[in-house]
Amino acid sequence: MHKPGESPFTDRELAEIRVWAKGRSDRTVRLRIVQDAAAGMSVSQSARRLGVSRPTVTAWRQRYAAHGLAGLEHRPRSGRPATIDEADVVAVTLAGPPPPQRIWSARSLADHLGLSHTALGRVWQRWQVRPGTAADDGSFVLPVEPPLRCRHPELLAVGASAQGRAFMVIAEAPPAGQPRVGAATAEERQMRYAALTAVMRQVQYSTERAVSEHLADGVRPGRSQRNTGAESMWDTVTSSPDLTLPPSIAMRWVARHLHVITWGDTTGPAQLPVAARQHAAPTTMSWAATVCLMAQLELRHQPQSARVALDSLADSARDLLRTPPGRPFWWLREARASTVRRRRTVHRAFDQLATSSFNEKLVIESVRGGGSLSRAEIGERTGLTPQAVSRITRNLLTTGLLVEEDRRLTRKGKPPMLLRLRPDAAFAVGIHIDRDKITHVLVDLCGQVRETSVLALTARTDLRSCLKWMKRTTSRAIEAGGPSSAGVLGVGVAAPGPLDVHEGVLLSPPFWAERGGFPIRSQLSRMFRLPVLLEKDATAAAMGEQWLGAGGSSGDFVYLYLGAGTSSGAFLNGDVYRGASGNAGEFGELTAYALGRVASDGGREPVPEYAPMSAVVARAMEAGLALPDGVPAYEAVCVAAAAGDPLAVGAIRLVAQAVARGAAAMTDLYDSDLMIVGGPAVRPEVAELYLAEMSRAVNRFPMARRNRPVRVTYSILSASAAAVGAATAVFHTTFAPRPRTHSGAAT
């Protein structure tokens, strides 16, 4: 037996544990936890590598230290089993584990959720779902009464009030007439699940707690109490969410096969079509978790419309949380036509020398945005004639940029052939030079990250070692990609401003000891023998979001990048806006003026919140939050905030409110109705805190708030936005259609 705190990792013991775990997949994670400890890896590093929680790693390490191999054996939990929200279990199953693990194992998911392996198996059996299977056909069985098989559900309405009374209206998504776009990435699904779960659980708690808070004595208001308004409070908190649908909504749903899932004593909204089928939910699944589960499925089969709907749902939830507790919750999905953004005017090439190239890029852009399209759909989107579409697509198929997919089934006639981009037709390298690390990625034409490497920076890091690391990492990534990755178009570099993008110079290198500008583009061009593109980090992040989907349906949006500093990138009139020097989007002065922080000379006073990560840590420590040793300070604050610590939550809210005032001024400046928020500071566990403050500010303070509601959404790239964006900037420069394609873009 070993004493806790010792490191009893001799070669003999490691050999014994390998024999103990051989042939037993359920013991693999425990074996690796011990091996990581023997290698000197920290708890956080081991948890990230294995895709499990830090408490799981800590527990198995302590049990092995105390009892050896016997401590690693599975122990049945004693006492009353914990309550299991089965909808939450299935939603986490579909969201998937953190990278590099791709599919949950039963053991790792059970440990992650704090369940026994047997309990998890029973949930999967009841719902007929397994990790990996739902990714293929997107279906499982809701164990409601009567049971309901969900394949491609679309969430239409949600309502909830006190005493657990709630309903949800869903229907199968319309199959035809929609472009086929690939499912949202696992990273995006996990981030959106974390953010949506945080706000929906608050709503569920808010709608259910009013009776206990206002009627703590357990007595219904008497006559004297009712005269003072207590009766209206009682009527509010106990009212049923059986709301009446507007006639236009009721008519819109007549032709659809609706399913109404109810919790408690409720029947769903009134004036539903007669054919709507009622299903009673069991107590083992909460309505809030079931809503988040439907969000997971929509992100798989119709991510573009799901993003808009889920942002609307989150906004409705935030509005409710700003009102006194106990008010019923009600959300209704907007009509599909109203959620599709206006398609910008189709460009026509007016430069005869660039006509062919421009139209080819127009076709590539339409296929990229649509996922997979027929030639007729390409013609509809681009405005080109059928003959031009046929000629261009034939050329692109010959060069290998496009490939043919299976034919789409139609009711009559020959099914059309679908075309999509070939992922390995082109690659790009993205390098993000930040204040504390360099991130390197290899990205294919469809935006999938093939290789990722990170170099941590310290005060002793020198320029020469950084350049050698970039060269070595790029060579290794290209070799790992195989022969297909030989077609690397170029290297995109993202860095904090100020920059000179015309000369390719970092004017204030964020970490190198040398002062003055550094000509990084010319250095890397000679090193890689490839074109090199330099962009500000926030601008690169905006280009990545536009290329990969979150901003793809909008011609105008602003990307708010929160990391060691704060900046923004903008897409205006369908193209990235860089400004005269490539430094557009710095809004620190707007934040200072919005907060009234003006120096004696009339200029802006420095705003500490403009560096959100350090500002959050400073605020939390000033409030008295104790930070553990061995964990990065900002990560520790975020973990505490996710656990509900009021000091950590308050620190993040204060910083988010300050940044949001500058974002509101920027909304007026650009007249944009879409804001994407991301960056290293916006970790999934605290994303809702940032999004709530941003949404409130940009829809409250701007001048045009009455006729321009702003949708605030979570970045699909988040922490990796700048690196991936730098790579997609190469694709954008190469393939994005512009009226003059030979006018001299910087490379």
Could you report the per-residue pLDDT of 220-236, keeping only the tens digit for each? 444 333 333 333 433 44
pLDDT tens for each residue of 154-189: 999 998 887 778 899 998 887 654 556 667 777 788
pLDDT of residue 651: 93
* Res 635 pLDDT > 60: yes
- Hunting for tokens 């512009």 — which residue is that? 738
For residue 724, give the nearest of 542, 470, 472 by alpha carbon.
542
Structure tokens at 610: 């403009």
- What's the average model confidence in pLDDT over 615-623? 91
pLDDT tens for each residue of 124-142: 888 888 765 544 455 788 9
- What's the average model confidence in pLDDT over 13-24? 70
Sheet of 402-404, strands arranged across: 373-374, 418-421, 402-404
Sign of CA dihedral 253, 188, 127, 89: negative
What DSSP line would sit under 105-162, residue for residue? -HHHHHHHHT--HHHHHHHHHHHT--TTHHHHH--EEE-SBS-EEESSEEEEEEEE-S
DSSP type of residue 484? G
Q: Are 747 and 708 in contact (CB under 8 A)?
A: no
Rg of the chain over all Cα atoms, to the nearest angstrom: 27
Q: How far, in Å, CA of 100 to CA of 344, rounded? A: 39
Q: How far, in Å, CA of 431 to CA of 495, rounded? A: 9
* Res 345 pLDDT > 80: no
Question: Residue 433 phi/psi, 5° resolution?
Answer: -100, 105
CA end-to-end span of the chain, whole Å?
64
CB burial string 257-292: b at 16+ within 10 A, e below = ebbbbbbbebebbeebeeebebbebeeebbbbbbbb
pLDDT of residue 716: 78
Q: How far, in Å, CA of 706 to CA of 695, rounded? A: 14
* Res 22 pLDDT > 80: no
- What's the average model confidence in pLDDT over 372-388? 86
pLDDT of residue 231: 38
- What's the average model confidence in pLDDT over 566-587? 83
Beta strand 437-444 with 449-456: parallel, antiparallel or unpaired?
antiparallel
Question: Residue 737 phi/psi, 5° resolution?
Answer: -75, 135
Confidence band for 192, pLDDT divided at 50, 70 and 90: confident
- What's the average model confidence in pLDDT over 24-50? 80
- What's the average model confidence in pLDDT over 561-570? 86
Q: Of 57-66, 421-430, 476-485, where does the model show the most confidence?
A: 421-430
Confidence band for 209, pLDDT divided at 50, 70 and 90: low
273-277, 404-408, 516-520, 686-690: least confidently modelled range: 404-408
- What's the average model confidence in pLDDT over 705-716? 84
pLDDT of residue 584: 84
Q: Is the link from the previous residue into 143 a cis peptide, with omega within 30 of 0?
A: no
* Res 114 pLDDT > 90: no
Question: Residue 640 phi/psi, 5° resolution?
Answer: -65, -40
- What's the average model confidence in pLDDT over 398-419? 73
CB burial string 576-605: b at 16+ within 10 A, e below = bbbeeebbbbbbbbbbbbbbebeeeeeebe
pLDDT of residue 656: 92
* Res 5 pLDDT > 60: no
- Hunting for tokens 């089993």 — which residue is that? 81
pLDDT of residue 210: 53
CB burial string 371-384: b at 16+ within 10 A, e below = bbbbbebbbebbeb
* Res 86 pLDDT > 80: yes
Q: How far, in Å, CA of 516 to CA of 673, rounded? A: 39
3-state secondary structure (DSSP) of residue 250 = helix
- What's the average model confidence in pLDDT over 384-410? 81
Q: How far, in Å, CA of 722 to CA of 534, rounded? A: 12
pLDDT of residue 155: 92
CA angle 304, 309, 312 (to 5 degrees): 135
pLDDT tens for each residue of 257-289: 899 999 987 877 877 887 889 999 998 889 999
- What's the average model confidence in pLDDT over 627-656? 88
- What's the average model confidence in pLDDT over 398-404? 87
Structure tokens at 424: 């390995």
Residues whose CB falls within 8 Å of the CB of residue 366, separated by 6 or more in sequence, listed in order:
373, 378, 381, 382
Q: How far, in Å, CA of 571 to CA of 555, rounded? A: 7
pLDDT of residue 75: 55
pLDDT of residue 348: 40
74 vs 459 pLDDT, higher one: 459
3-state secondary structure (DSSP) of residue 428 = strand
| Percent of the chain whose predicted confidence (pLDDT) is above 90 | 8
Residues whose CB falls within 8 Å of the CB of residue 376, separated by 6 or more in sequence, listed in order:
386, 416
Q: Taking all residues of the chain, what is their mean pLDDT, rounded to a whole number?
A: 78
pLDDT tens for each residue of 280-313: 999 888 999 999 999 888 888 888 888 888 888 9
pLDDT of residue 279: 92
For residue 696, give the nearest of 705, 685, 683, 687 by alpha carbon.
705
Question: Could you give the dihedral angle defined by the CA atoms of residues 565, 570, 576 and 580, in that order, rounded to the nearest 10 degrees?
Answer: -70
For residue 467, give the nearest of 420, 521, 415 by alpha carbon.
521
Q: Are 242 and 270 in contact (CB under 8 A)?
A: yes
Question: Which amino acid is residue 189, in one-letter code?
Answer: R
Sign of CA dihedral 277, 153, 344, 395: negative
For residue 663, give the nearest of 698, 692, 705 by alpha carbon.
698
Q: Of 165-179, 508-522, 715-729, where does the model show the most confidence?
A: 715-729
* Res 528 pLDDT > 80: yes
Q: Are 432 and 492 in contact (CB under 8 A)?
A: no
Q: How far, in Å, CA of 675 to CA of 663, rounded? A: 9
pTM for the complete prediction? 0.73
- Hunting for tokens 């609307």 — which residue is that? 312
Structure tokens at 602: 């009339």
Q: How far, in Å, CA of 642 to CA of 686, rounded? A: 6
For residue 747, give the nearest of 570, 591, 580, 521 by alpha carbon.
521
Structure tokens at 626: 């104790």
For residue 722, give the nearest of 680, 667, 662 by alpha carbon.
680
Q: Of 76-80, 334-338, 581-585, where does the model show the most confidence?
A: 581-585
